[in-house]
A = this chain, B = another copy of it.
Amino acid sequence: MSKTPVRKGFTIWFTGLSGAGKSTLAHELDRQLRARGVPNVEILDGDVVRENLSKGLTFSKEDRDINIRRIAFVCHLLTRNGVPTIAAAISPYRETRDYARRLIGDFIEVHVATPLDTCIERDVKGLYRKALAGEIGEFTGVSDPYEPPLDPEVVCHTQEETLEESAGKILAYLEERGYLAPLRERTAETVVMRGN
């Protein structure tokens, strides 16, 4: 078993509007974790999960909830086996995120709180344009609700923070809560090992 600074499995649960930057932030966090010596991180991206676990589901409230509960089930299995896991899906409903929190236990909710206006301006996938033109229905923030978290562990303001800063806040939280060994301590361990 390789030495890892991860002391306990956890799930970083990103929630936020389409285009808020959840996937981008997930990959930046993955990069920073690996740079810290974490050998494996599992990212469950909304789009990938829809393909592998939820093909055929619609964007109705019922189907969105089923999709999120499936992601939560897989995060639960990974987390209890010590895997650092990142989920990046809109997950618009508070109640369903709370279900995920209860199931997973070691659950860190990160609100990617990019304002709707900014998401509409960015419109990376061109989906807001279509949603605002009425070409796509049930679109979160436009024609479908988004319930922001009331008490998330971390809030990222991507419109005023760099990607590094946002991910850094999450890393700091993981250290603070003992999920991740702090950098200083790991250096000491390395020195001791070299001393042998």
Contacts and interface: CB of A to CB of B under 8 A. Distances in A.
Interface of A: 1, 3-4, 40, 42, 52-53, 55, 66, 69-70, 73-74, 77-78, 80-83
A118 to B, nearest CB: 33
A70 B53 contact: yes
The oligomer's copy count stands at 2
Given A1-B1, A1-B3, A42-B77, 19 more contacts: A1-B4, A1-B82, A40-B81, A40-B82, A42-B81, A52-B69, A52-B73, A53-B70, A53-B73, A55-B66, A74-B74, A74-B77, A77-B77, A77-B78, A78-B78, A78-B81, A81-B81, A81-B83, A83-B83
Contacts of A55: 66
25 contacts: A1-B1, A1-B3, A1-B4, A1-B82, A40-B80, A40-B81, A40-B82, A42-B77, A42-B81, A52-B69, A52-B70, A52-B73, A53-B53, A53-B70, A53-B73, A55-B66, A74-B74, A74-B77, A77-B77, A77-B78, A78-B78, A78-B81, A81-B81, A81-B83, A83-B83
Nearest to A55: B66
A82 to B, nearest CB: 8
Contacts of A74: 74, 77
A98 B83 CA distance: 27
Contacts of A53: 53, 70, 73
A77 B1 CA distance: 18
Nearest to A52: B73
